Amino acid sequence: SLLQSTLQCFFNQS
Amino acid sequence: ARLLHGSIFAKVIEGLRELVNEATWECSGNGITLQAMDSSHVALVSLVMRSEGFESYRCDRNMSLGISLVSMSKVLKTMGKDDSLTIRVNDDSDSIIIAMESQNQDKFADYELRLMDLDSEHLGIPDTDYSCAIKMPSSEFSRICRDMSIMGDSVLICTTKEGVKFSAKGDLGQGSIRLVQTTNIEKEEEAVIIEMKEAVALTFAVRYLSMFCKAAPLSPQVGLSLSEDTPLMCEFKIAEMGHVRFYLAPKIED
């Protein structure tokens, strides 16, 4: 099954 | 900041307010920018409105303005179709002034909206060399999102040299829409153009894509940029002045 990832998995906190 | 065609600003707000109810506007001499995530941190919007795109623009010192987009949308709905719009914040003020002027200057409306204290989380978005860049009519993209949502919650976007395929499946069954690249471009606005370095197949929540489509009235074309294991970027240009970019995290294997 597919899970919805969040953006923090890809982009850094700045 | 003054816009001769205030409707542009109204379209920007309409495009954002469902995804983010409130956001911090960063104002500087260069213009207005905004970055905000939806409450579940799955999608992000990044707005740029450059100063030179306004009829007149002045910002004496940088300001961060917390604004309820829902309230602003209500105010902007009172604006006439051809009204001009001026947005102003005075020094040390806790509100933003939204002034509308009818085209023949026989009606002037002023509203003040209270500013908000917002905690904003800022993400660094890396410059990405996407595997695929698709351009298509924004009305077509809106329609595809609507049609795919009949079949399921998720849409799989697959690109090949020939075109792009959107597909969804669910309890009812499954459906797909395939668009082929336009070979003979007569009207740029109606063209489907695919620039591909590598084929991609990525799954996204249709609900969010449909929310991005609220910004479709801003531009006749939408840009979709895709790479494997990377958030999708969905861009609507704001004529001559900037853009609204939406990012959406893909659904990934458990």
The pLDDT of residue B161: 79
The pLDDT of residue B170: 93
Beta strands in chain B (DSSP E): 2-3, 22-28, 31-37, 43-50, 63-68, 84-88, 95-101, 108-114, 123-124, 132-137, 154-159, 163-169, 174-180, 193-196, 201-205, 221-226, 232-238, 242-248, 251-253
The CA distance from A8 to the nearest CA of chain B, in Å, is 8
Of B44, B125, B252, the CB nearest to A5: B252
The pLDDT of residue B160: 86
Low-confidence ranges of chain B (pLDDT < 50): none
* Chain position carrying tokens 């003040």: B112
Predicted ipTM of the assembly: 0.95
The CA distance from B72 to the nearest CA of chain A, in Å, is 27
The pLDDT of residue B110: 97
**Are A2 and B254 an interchain contact pair (Cβ–Cβ within 8 Å)?**
yes
Of B154, B203, B249, the CB nearest to A6: B249
The CA distance from A1 to the nearest CA of chain B, in Å, is 6
Residue pairs spanning A and B at CB distance below 8 A: 55
B207 neighbors B149 (Cβ within 8 angstroms) = yes
What is the DSSP secondary-structure string of B50-69?
EGGGSSB---SS-EEEEEEH
Residues of A in contact with B225 (CB under 8 A): none
